[in-house]
Amino acid sequence: MLSGFVMDYERYLGSARWRKKRLAIILRADGICERCRKAQVSFVHHLTYERIGNEHLGDLLGVCAKCHEELHDGGRVRETIVL
C-alpha cells in the first residue's frame, strides 16, 4: 500500500493542482523561508499528509533547502510547526 501512495504522491506533485498550491504558499511567504526567515523558499513542505490532494494552505510551509533537510531528518519528519 505504501508504494501505491508514493506513486500517487509523486504524480500529484507533478500536477497543475499542486503547482497552483505551491505557488500560493511561495506568494504567502513572499519567497522567504517561513521557518528560518533568512533564505529563499526552495520547497513547499507538508506539515501533515492527512489531506493529500485536498490540503489546506495551513497544511503547507514554504521552506529553504536547509530547513527542508532539517525537517526530514533521515527521511522522518523531525518537528511539527504551527503557524
d(CA 21, CA 60): 9
pLDDT at 26 over 90: yes
Q: What is the DSSP string of 9-66?
A: HHHHHTSHHHHHHHHHHHHHTTTB-TTTSSSB--EEEES-STTTTS--GGGEEEE-HH
Among 8-12, 23-27, 35-39, the least confident range = 8-12
Mean pLDDT rounded to a whole number for the chain: 85
At 20, the amino acid letter reads K
Q: Which of 1-10, 11-20, 71-80 has the highest mean pLDDT?
A: 11-20
pLDDT at 67 over 70: yes
pLDDT at 62 over 80: yes
